Structure 1
Amino acid sequence: MTSSKTLYLYTTLGCHLCEQAKQLAWPVLEHYGFRLQEVEIADDEDLMTRYGIRIPVVARADDGAELGWPFDQQALSELLK
């Protein structure tokens, strides 16, 4: 069972923007008590279709609300409130 305090990061190997998104997200995640779970989109054809040209994308586990790159800490805070 996935915790409602989980934020998914849709990513793929070698995504430098995804690494930037992770670094930006850590302080916000810690503040709101969320954990980050990376999801490799290359392993799933549906995810590749949905996110292939949009990554990095973060999504709440509890309600599916998404935020696509580029985003900043303020926008991520709004998503996690």
Structure 2
Amino acid sequence: MKLFFYTGPQCSLCDLADEELKATTHYATLQIEKVNIRNSTDLYHLYGARIPVLKREDNNKEIGWPFSSADLEEFLQ
């Protein structure tokens, strides 16, 4: 499964989200594309106050911070 991981530079919450993501049972099978929202005006306006956000490519569902590894397990099913 492919995920877009919307993040930004020096984002400590993004670091925490990355740790939660690594704790999931699905981590080894995920294709994760980290996207720096500062590289796009549109993404910055969409996600600037919400990062970190994970978005599934297959169904466009999103989960935003705060989330736990248990929340992610449910999100990834």
The TM-score with structure 2 as length reference comes to: 0.91
Matched position secondary structure for 1:42 = helix
- Identity within the alignment, %: 36
Give the RMSD, CA atoms, in angstroms: 1.1
2:72 equivalent to 1:76: yes
Q: What does the per-residue CA deviation read over 1:5-53, in whole Å, with 9 as the maximum and x for residues that have no partner?
A: 111110011000001100110131326x212210110000110000000
Match of 1:30 in 2: 27
Match of 2:36 in 1: 40
Match of 2:46 in 1: 50
The amino acid across from 1:22 in the alignment is D
The amino acid across from 1:58 in the alignment is L
Aligned residues: 76
Q: Which runs of 4+ in 1 moved over 6 A?
A: none
Structure 2: gaps spanning 5 or more residues: none
- For 1:47 and 1:17, the matched residues in 2 are separated by 18
